[in-house]
Structure 1
Amino acid sequence: MSIKLDQVVKVFGTQRVLDDVSLTIAEGEFFVVLGPSGCGKSTLLRLISGLEPLDGGRILINGREVAASGLHLAPEQRGVGVVFQSYALWPHMTVAGNVAFPLETAGRSRSEVTRRTEECLATVELTRFADRKPADLSGGQRQRVALARCLAQGASTILMDEPLANLDPHLRGAMEEELSAFHKASAATTLFITHDQREAMALADRIAILWDGRLLQADAPEVIYRRPRNRHVAGFIGQGSIVTVRVTAAEAGTAHVRLGKAGQDVACVADTQPGTAALLLRPEDIEACGDEGAQLCGRVERSVYRGGFHEADVAVEGLDAPLMVRLAGRPAAGERIGLRLRSGWLLPA
């Protein structure tokens, strides 16, 4: 089912936790809301699920209004399932009992409860754990029980509130693969809340960046990374440097910019005009080279070993921020390095 938020507002006291948020999540999409702590991510999920009333705007699920001025459908009337950080499993019930619970409370027949429980456990590959208690499972397995319970209750939309936050780092990668597999198997529309950009990039069909209650950008992961709309998005997603440059000419989507004492053609928005602008350079946009063929020269301020390469901050005369450069060998502090630019992105004005 699709989800549509139309100018949604939520206020706690005098603070607008969500400020005029509008977005559409397509049926079957794995949609990730990403942002720093306190930006309103979990509040957004609670509004969609019906756990909080909104203060402005409206929410539609599969084309039906579920929240608007004077309207607030209860969570059980919205057809959504929620997976919280804690998973919220009944500790005294078996895995099968937890999955069967929403079916039993809905008054389904015993045969239907048994059949549907087996189907949902098979979807998340937990059939052989049906008789265990949650305490006897790993964190990843408990998460899968929570997902199976969402499927059992007939939820075609699943909302996940930082479900990987309580897992050990080594388990997160495996669970990302499991979540992707689960999404493909269930075809459920999925809204995933996280503050971890790596998780977002690995899982999302599209990512929405939320910042201080406002939606900054909603796009495919590669668009968010390569063509961020502003400094907040550029600084929050990935690594890189943002430097002030002088655009001397622009046409056909390419701008000629002045960096320090050298000039270089870089990719940019088509309507960029000559003048001062902010240029985003990712580490892969910059190549270290010898003096011959170098477009810029700088000196290493600091370096950190990242496993397989060294990440260096290189100060270039005339630039207001150091450039982040990846080097094969360990550079010495103060070492002079030639640089050549492959590409770049001029942030929209």
Structure 2
Amino acid sequence: MTIPALRLSGLCVTYDGVVALTGVDLDVWPGEVIALLGSSGSGKTTLLHTVAGFIEPDSGVVAIGDRVVAGAGGWVAPEDRRVGLVFQGAALWPHLTVLDTVAYPIRRRGLPKGAARREAAGLLERLGLSPLADRRPAQLSGGEQQRVGLARALARDPALFLFDEPTAHLDTHLRSVVLEEIARRREALGAAALYATHNAAEALAIADRIAVLRAGRLVQVGTPQEVYAQPVDAETARLTGPASLLDAAALGAAALDGWAIDAPVGGVVGVRGHETVLVRPDWVRFGGDLPGRVESVRYRGPSTDHVVSVRGGRLLVSSPGPPRRGVGEVVGLTVTQTWSMPSLDGAGRLTAVRETAATDA
């Protein structure tokens, strides 16, 4: 029987009477990456710090592999948990050079100093940090410190990686390089990972599953495809990418002919108002029988966003390349996919949404 690399059971954490995490149940399997996705204050960093051992939970259990490290009478100090940590603050040792900082965890694995420095140098080269090898933290920018902190974590041999927005201070090119190295190193070790981010595109790209956190609760856990295409509620939908919500009744039956209207998401109940459907920008294209008028056009480089007014709301249409339609132009649209959402009241607000986590066995 396979043992989870990380098991969280009934995890609850409070700060001065304020609930930070409540009832968190989550298994992370060996080799799996779970992205923790949530807005600021949702509990992502608190969850990582609790797993790392910097915070002791009020109740619940944290187990890494077959070892209980918090709760149920067990407690293991942070330095004795086999985890590789990359948090928003790099927390580098001020007296060590970059090379020695990265070589330190390798030496702790038992390698001689020379071999450790050679392995560290190779890791620095892959991350584009070789020119910084002899510098100390005070001589590094914030982004450079973040990358060195990442290199130090990757140099360990952990059973579990904990990443807290490791690419937050990096430009687009470096973000790609870092994500590739994270994937390469993690796969080579067979380690699992919890990866906290508020960047939906990053979460969708890097994760095997996504765990959506809101106000300290897990509201949905599923594959990237499930969370993107079948969000448990409208707030989750917006968190995972651009989304248009349309009033199905206002559109009328004729407009819905041929649409793939799905059944409501299990566990989400709208109390009053009209049925609402979610449409992603990539689920709609120009040309078709649904009439609309272009309200705005925004060129994004690889694609162009068109906001189109239709019966029942406004649709965001993303098309490749430069603008294909102008403001004020009357167009026809085809919607290829939708997802039924909680109801809207008369003022267009979501009403009485009950949040239920979608679990993955």
The aligned counterpart of 1:252 is: none
The aligned counterpart of 2:196 is: 193
Match of 2:329 among 313, 335, 339: 335
Write the distance in 1 (CA, Å) between the matches of 2:265 and 2:214: 25
The aligned counterpart of 1:155 is: 158
Task: Report the 3-state secondary structure (helix = DSSP H, G, I; strand = E; otherwise coil) of the residue aligned with 1:347.
Answer: strand
RMSD, matched Cα: 3.1
Letter in 2 for 1:220: T
The aligned counterpart of 1:312 is: 306
Match of 2:229 among 223, 226, 229: 226
Letter in 2 for 1:265: G
1:1-35 deviation per Cα after TM superposition (whole angstroms, max 9, x unaligned): 61111121111123211121111111111221111
Question: Which deviates the most, 67-76 or 53-62?
Answer: 67-76
Match of 1:266 among 245, 259, 274: 259
1:149-202 deviation per Cα after TM superposition (whole angstroms, max 9, x unaligned): 335554221211111112234422232222222222332222111111122122
1:177 matched to 2:171? The reply is no
Task: Report the 3-state secondary structure (helix = DSSP H, G, I; strand = E; otherwise coil) of the residue aligned with 1:172.
Answer: helix
1:279-303 deviation per Cα after TM superposition (whole angstroms, max 9, x unaligned): 11111211212xxxx3311112222
The aligned counterpart of 1:2 is: 5
Letter in 2 for 1:263: L
The aligned counterpart of 1:285 is: 283
Q: Deviation of residue 62 (structure 1)?
A: 0.3
Letter in 2 for 1:303: V
How many residues matched? 329
Match of 1:326 among 314, 318, 322: 318
The aligned counterpart of 2:122 is: 122
The aligned counterpart of 1:253 is: none
Q: Deviation of residue 258 (structure 1)?
A: 5.7
| Cα pair distance change 1:330/1:295, threshold 3 Å | closer
Write the distance in 1 (CA, Å) between the matches of 2:143 and 2:31: 23
Which TM-score applies when normalising by structure 2?
A: 0.79
Task: Report the 3-state secondary structure (helix = DSSP H, G, I; strand = E; otherwise coil) of the residue aligned with 2:175.
Answer: helix
| Cα pair distance change 1:267/1:261, threshold 3 Å | closer
Write the distance in 2 (CA, Å) between the matches of 1:310 and 1:148: 37
Letter in 2 for 1:11: T
Q: Which runs of 5+ in 2 are unaligned?
A: 267-272, 344-361
Write the distance in 1 (CA, Å) between the matches of 2:132 and 2:316: 51
1:301 matched to 2:301? The reply is no
Pairwise mapping of residues 202-217 of structure 1 onto structure 2 (< 5 A)? 202-217=205-220
Give yes or no for contact 1:117–1:152 (8 Å, CA) kept in 2: no
Letter in 2 for 1:146: G
Write the distance in 2 (CA, Å) between the matches of 1:279 and 1:115: 59
Letter in 1 for 2:284: I
| Cα pair distance change 1:223/1:10, threshold 3 Å | same
Which TM-score applies when normalising by structure 1?
A: 0.82
Task: Report the 3-state secondary structure (helix = DSSP H, G, I; strand = E; otherwise coil) of the residue aligned with 2:248.
Answer: strand
Pairwise mapping of residues 43-58 of structure 1 onto structure 2 (< 5 A)? 43-58=46-61
Structure having the larger proportion of residues in strand: 1
Q: Which runs of 5+ in 1 are unaligned?
A: 247-256
Identity of aligned residues (%): 36
